[in-house]
């Protein structure tokens, strides 16, 4: 953990001219509003002034671009961490990684309506803006001149304390000037789809989700113009899909090699993947939430350890997934036996090729794929009451994926 020195921060201005489908839920969430442009209740959607912050805040594309133009002129590298807010240590780890590798670091906070289905939790998604800005201002790294980018302007100090440089906090109207509907059939305008990469894993459970993600991230990349962008492995399909998108659209800010995927941040006590939606969990729900990770680890052990059945054959994909499913079932029974007031519902556990996203054949084994094959994404999703959790592990040589 890096030391925090709030006393060294000075007050900076904020600028006001004039953070990511369908899935089946065992507990449908009430729809509070679908008229996003007229009835949304978030601070940014109502264009209310943001809270005071030690970091410059930009609420419009025009004001941010003026700031970015100066960074271009000064040859400053810009790192970017897109978020939907409700920041946790996973987000902050991405921020610190950016601080250590770039001259300037920008974080966006935008709850993107295009990636929520009408029955999903857009209205109730955690929004903690004042807290987010406070913890963001506390982030810092000490970087020597040798850590700065090759285009950086030299400084007189041998070491430099680096803190977040800006927050992009747009409204829905700013990001979707023509308006946005949550139902895809009602949407009008320009949207981005990465075909053949968004229908598996999360895409199967949440049709249309990645259309919303690809669209908003394309917009954000166009506005922020980052040298480097940082995403967490927890959303591995999203991150790899965006890497494909950046490649196909010939984007230079960031280039594919500068879209970084950082290992999943976990609770050190039980390895639960950190997520903004963990705030939804009840005490009983929080207790059973690590079940998904335990199930994935069981499948990983089956796949990597070369476990052999009585016939002397390596366990195949089908058998490893069944081992994971069986563990979830046991945890459900244990929760019931211990009188925990919680409902666990497994959505899916699957194994996909990290290069193509294609589902592995049931008969595939680690040895049958060979050493030259792409890594395997072992992923899953699970409902704990009304909270949907996701997680994944990468099997094989994943150095080209997470970097």
**In residues, how long is the chain?**
403
Specify whether 91 is catalytic: yes
CA dist., res. 122 & res. 178, Å (int): 19
CA dist., res. 109 & res. 164, Å (int): 13
Residue 232 and residue 208 in contact, taking contact as beta carbons nearer than 8 Å: no
User: Considering only CA atoms, which of 129, 50, 97, 136 is closest in space to residue 260?
Assistant: 97
- Cis amide leading into 254 (omega within 30): yes
Phi, psi dihedral angles at 233 (to 5 degrees): -65, -25
User: Considering only CA atoms, which of 183, 234, 247 is closest in space to residue 211?
Assistant: 183
Other beta carbons less than 10 A from residue 336's beta carbon: 12
Q: Cα–Cα distances in Å, from 49 out to 40, 131, 169, 314, 323?
A: 16, 15, 10, 60, 52
Active-site annotation holder among 23, 91, 244, 260? 91
Of all residues in the chain, what percent are helix, strand and coil, respectively (each to 5)?
35, 15, 45
Which active-site residues does the annotation give?
A: 91
């Amino acid at each position: 953990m890096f030391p925090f020195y709030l006393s060294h921060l000075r007050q900076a201005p904020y600028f006001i001219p004039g953070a990511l489908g369908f899935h089946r839920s065992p507990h449908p969430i009430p729809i509070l509003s679908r008229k996003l442009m007229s009835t949304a209740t978030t601070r940014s959607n109502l264009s209310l002034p943001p809270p005071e912050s030690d970091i410059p805040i930009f609420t419009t594309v025009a004001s941010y671009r003026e700031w970015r133009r100066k960074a271009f002129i000064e040859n400053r590298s810009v790192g970017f961490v897109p978020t939907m807010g409700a920041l946790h240590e996973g987000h902050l780890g991405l921020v610190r990684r950016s601080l250590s590798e770039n001259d300037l670091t920008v974080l966006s906070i935008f709850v993107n309506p295009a990636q929520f289905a009408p029955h999903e939790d857009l209205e109730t998604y955690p929004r903690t803006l004042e807290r987010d800005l406070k913890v963001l201002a506390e982030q810092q790294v000490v970087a020597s001149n040798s850590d700065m980018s090759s285009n950086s302007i030299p400084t007189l100090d041998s070491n430099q304390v680096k803190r977040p440089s800006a927050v992009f906090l747009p409204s829905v109207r700013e990001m979707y000037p023509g308006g946005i509907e949550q139902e895809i059939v009602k949407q009008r305008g320009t949207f981005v789809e990465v075909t053949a990469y968004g229908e598996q894993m999360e895409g199967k459970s949440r049709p249309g989700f990645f259309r919303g993600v690809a669209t908003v991230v394309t917009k954000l990349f166009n506005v922020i113009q980052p040298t480097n962008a940082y995403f967490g492995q927890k959303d591995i399909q999203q991150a790899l899909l965006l890497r494909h998108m950046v490649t196909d659209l010939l984007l230079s800010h960031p280039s594919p090699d500068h879209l970084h995927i950082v290992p999943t941040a976990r609770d050190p006590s039980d390895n639960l993947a950190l997520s903004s939606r963990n705030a939804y969990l009840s005490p009983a729900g929080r207790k059973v939430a690590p079940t998904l990770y335990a199930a994935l680890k069981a499948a990983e052990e089956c796949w990597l350890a070369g476990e052999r059945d009585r016939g002397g054959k390596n366990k195949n994909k089908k058998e490893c997934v069944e081992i994971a499913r069986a563990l979830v079932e046991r945890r459900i029974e244990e929760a019931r036996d211990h009188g925990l007031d919680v409902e666990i519902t497994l959505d899916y556990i699957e194994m996909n090729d990290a290069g193509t996203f294609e589902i592995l054949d049931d008969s595939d084994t680690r040895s049958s794929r060979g050493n030259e094959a792409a890594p395997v994404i072992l992923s899953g999703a699970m409902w704990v009451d009304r909270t949907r959790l996701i997680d994944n592990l990468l099997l094989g040589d994943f150095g080209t994926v997470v970097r």
